[in-house]
Structure 1
Amino acid sequence: MSTNRTLAAKFVPPGEGFVMHTPGGDATILKIAAAETNDHFSLNEYVAMPDAGPPMHVHTREDEAFYILEGTVTFICDGKIIEAPKGSFVFAPRGLPHTFKNRTKSPAKFLLIVTPPANFEAFYSRIGGKDEKGQPPAESLIIERIGREAPNFGITILGPNPL
Structure 2
Amino acid sequence: MKTFTYAAVSPPDHGTPAAAFGKHVIRMLAANTGGALGMLEAIVPPGEGPPLHVHEREDEFFRVLSGCFGFWCAGDYVELAEGGCIALPRGVPHRFRNIGETEGRLMAVVTPGGFEAFFPIIELCKPETPEQIASVAMAFGLTFLPNEDRKVA
CA distance in 2, matches of 1:151, 1:9: 28
Q: Secondary structure at the match of 2:145?
A: strand
Q: How does 1:46-125 map to 2 (within 5 A)?
A: 46-117=42-113, 119-125=114-120
RMSD: 2.5
Letter in 1 for 2:120: S
CA distance in 1, matches of 2:131, 2:91: 23
Number of positions where the alignment pairs a residue of Structure 1 with one of Structure 2:
150
CA distance in 1, matches of 2:118, 2:76: 26
Would you say 1:149 and 2:145 are equivalent positions?
Answer: no
Q: Which residue of 2 aligns with 1:19?
A: 17
Q: Given the two structures, how large is their TM-score scaled by the length of structure 1?
A: 0.79
1:128 to 120, 123, 126: 123
CA distance in 2, matches of 1:54, 1:64: 14
CA distance in 2, matches of 1:75, 1:19: 24
Q: Write the deviation string for residues 2-29 of structure 1: whole angstroms up to 9, x where unpaired.
A: 6845425534232x21111243xx2111
Residues 7 and 38 in structure 1, CA contact (< 8 A), matched pair in contact too: no
Residues 128 and 142 in structure 1, CA contact (< 8 A), matched pair in contact too: no
CA distance in 2, matches of 1:93, 1:159: 20
Give ranges in structure 1 of 5+ residues lacking alignment: 132-136
Would you say 1:10 and 2:9 are equivalent positions?
Answer: yes
Give ranges in structure 2 of 5+ residues lacking alignment: none
Percent same amino acid among aligned pairs?
A: 33
| CA 1:67–1:29: 2 relative to 1, 3 Å | same
Q: Write the deviation string for residues 114-154 of structure 1: whole angstroms up to 9, x where unpaired.
A: 0001x21332212134x9xxxxx6xx849665323111111
Q: Given the two structures, how large is their TM-score scaled by the length of structure 2?
A: 0.84
CA distance in 2, matches of 1:143, 1:105: 29
